[in-house]
Amino acid sequence: YTKSVAQDIATGVTNITTTRGAVAALKSDGSVVAWGWNSQGGSTGSVSSQLSSGVEEVYATLKAFAARKSDGTVVTWGNSELGGDSSSVTLSGVTEIWANDNAFVALQSPNNTLVSWGKSDSGGGITMPATNLHDVISTRRAFASLNNDGSVVAWGAADEGGASQGSTFTIEPTATTHSPSVAPSIAATMYPSAEPS
Alpha-carbon span 155 to 169, nearest angstrom:
7
Q: Which pTM value belongs to this model?
A: 0.84
CA 52 to chain centre: 21
Alpha-carbon span 117 to 45, nearest angstrom:
20
Residue among 48, 130, 140 at smallest CA distance from 96: 130
Question: Model confidence over 75-124: pLDDT tens digits?
Answer: 999 999 999 999 999 999 999 999 999 999 999 998 999 999 999 999 99
Please list the alpha-helical segments (H only) found in the chain: 3-8
Alpha-carbon span 177 to 13, nearest angstrom:
44
Amino acid sitting at position 139: T
Give the pLDDT confidence score for residue 164 in this predicted structure.
Answer: 55
Cβ atoms of residues 103 and 112 within 8 Å: no
Cβ atoms of residues 47 and 32 within 8 Å: no
Residue among 28, 120, 114 at smallest CA distance from 83: 120
Give the pLDDT confidence score for residue 191 in this predicted structure.
Answer: 31
Alpha-carbon span 115 to 73, nearest angstrom:
13
DSSP codes joined into one string, 51-115: GSS-EEEEEE-SSEEEEEETTS-EEEEE-GGGTT--TTS---SEEEEEE-SSEEEEEETTTTEEE
CA 79 to chain centre: 14
Give the pLDDT confidence score for residue 192 in this predicted structure.
Answer: 35
Ranges of residues in the chain whose predicted pLDDT is under 70: 1, 164-168, 173-197
